[in-house]
Amino acid sequence: MDRATLVNRRWLMAARPDGNVKPSDFTLDAAPLPPLADGAILVATDYLSVSPVMRHYMLRAAAGEPALEVGQVMRGRGVGTVVDSRHPGFAPGDIVHGPLGWQTHAVLAPTPKTLLFKVRQRVAPISTAIGVLGMTGYSAWFGFHDIGRPKAGETVVVSGAAGGVGSVVGPLAKIAGCRVIGIAGGPEKCRLLTERLRYDAAIDYRNEDVDARLAEVCPGGIDIYFDNVGGRILDTCLGRIARKGRVVMCGRISEYLDGPLPGLANYHLVGSRNARMEGFFVYDYADRFAEAEARMAASVASGELPYVEDRLDGFERMPEALAGLYDGTNLGKRIVAVSERAMAGA
Ligand SMILES: NC(=O)c1ccc[n+]([C@@H]2O[C@H](COP(=O)([O-])OP(=O)(O)OC[C@H]3O[C@@H](n4cnc5c(N)ncnc54)[C@H](OP(=O)(O)O)[C@@H]3O)[C@@H](O)[C@H]2O)c1
């Protein structure tokens, strides 16, 4: 490998966002790569993930990480190919997913705490290592199974259902023998839910009365509400929670730009219906990722777990890709193809 010809393109944080992220919050630069120290590897990025938590990283400490400072490389996970290694556990050609950051090349010194993993399951394209078979899928898996504790025959409602995590929860609920209803914005997303993602019914929260539709499609109440959005939709679903229902608090994207609602009018039903609300943080399950990956890879291979990727091509599109999550422009898990082989769909 000729290091002299390698230039690392990087997206740096240029400003803390005010409202949604915008192009001027980021700067694209190019920098030489540092020499590889003992124990380090050089990874060429194939795909990068975007996730709502990234705006938090730009503002404050979040998800166990300190706040980013202006001038730092944007934080984020990706999947890439090891091109040079001075680490005994990695060899050129290995495919890995981990904290690559928004850059075309990453130098990392993996330790057990780095959350860098080799991609072993090859039942699907490597992009799935940042989607259904990566943190997005693991969030769906552990949130649904460990916090939701589904039983066959139960009714599950998922908000943000056509996004990354939500698009995985629906099929997982069907595999568990549940009935599953998705809430998403717009008719195209609702069609995606019922036609491709195994949802039994879909509610378009932008154009329909969510409470009236829940009454219609969940006459016995909601046994598990998997919440990706918080705010008003959370409150509406709490109003329909079944006795002994479970609310999986995965995320609150509707509150990320506007702040929390002043109060949840229906929270008292959690008490009177002996229900439970519980949050979780996917990284806390790191010692069980392999289990989730193996189980979901088998379901992807069998066709029981369909997945939908929303791919933008080109490293220069990272800011646009992230901003779109808050505008709801993504259908399924949003990823950005960075390398030429990724843009060719490898
Ligand atoms: N607990 C954990 O460890 C963990 C791990 C990963 C992710 N998360 C959380 O899980 C959630 C989903 O993450 P993701 O990466 O899969 O993102 P995503 O769902 O792919 O993208 C965000 C989606 O949120 C919806 N949305 C945006 N603003 C909204 C609003 N005001 N009201 C209702 N929906 C809105 C949009 O869909 P519509 O067009 O349908 O509005 C958009 O497509 C996020 O809240 C994230 O923070 C938590």
What type of residue is 120? R
Residues 15 and 142 in one domain: no
**Structure confidence by residue, pLDDT tens digits, 50-82:** 999 999 999 999 888 899 999 999 999 999 999
Lowest mean pLDDT among 119-123, 153-157, 203-207, 256-260: 119-123
For the chain, what is the domain count? 2
Which residues span the domain enclosing 36? 3-127+308-343
- Whether the pLDDT of residue 320 is over 90: the answer is yes
Residues 271 and 326 in one domain: no
Average pLDDT, the chain: 95
Domain boundary among 282, 300, 332: 282
What type of residue is 234? L
Between strands 95-98 and 26-31, the pairing is unpaired
Label residue 237 by pLDDT band (50, 70, 90): very high
- Please name the residue whose Cα sits nearest to atom 18 of ligand 1: 163
Residues 181 and 246 in one domain: yes
Tell me, what CATH number does 110's domain have? 3.90.180.10
Residue range 116-144: average pLDDT?
93
The overall pTM is greater than 0.85? yes
74: region left, alpha or beta (phi > 0 left; psi from -120 to 50 alpha): beta
**Structure confidence by residue, pLDDT tens digits, 20-57:** 999 999 999 999 998 999 999 999 999 999 999 999 99
Label residue 3 by pLDDT band (50, 70, 90): low
Across 168-308, the runs of DSSP E, i.e. the strands, are 179-184, 201-204, 222-227, 241-249, 276-279
Helix (H) and strand (E) counts for the chain?
Answer: 11, 15
Tell me, what CATH number does 175's domain have? 3.40.50.720
- Please name the residue whose Cα sits nearest to atom 36 of ligand 1: 328
Residues 37 and 158 in one domain: no
C-alpha of residue 253 to centroid of ligand 1, in Å: 5
Residues 146 and 123 in one domain: no
The CA-based dihedral angle spanning residues 180, 186, 189, 195, taken in that order and rounded to the nearest 10 degrees: 70
In a domain, 290, yes or no: no
- Please name the residue whose Cα sits nearest to atom 46 of ligand 1: 251
Residue range 289-310: average pLDDT?
96
Report the greatest alpha carbon distance in the chain. Answer: 67
C-alpha of residue 240 to centroid of ligand 1, in Å: 21
Measured from the CB, is residue 182 less than 6 Å from ligand 1? no
C-alpha of residue 163 to centroid of ligand 1, in Å: 6
- Whether the pLDDT of residue 2 is over 70: the answer is no
Measured from the CB, is residue 326 less than 6 Å from ligand 1? yes
Across 195-288, the runs of DSSP E, i.e. the strands, are 201-204, 222-227, 241-249, 276-279
C-alpha of residue 323 to centroid of ligand 1, in Å: 12
Residues 332 and 272 in one domain: no
- Whether the pLDDT of residue 1 is over 60: the answer is no
Measured from the CB, is residue 164 less than 6 Å from ligand 1? yes
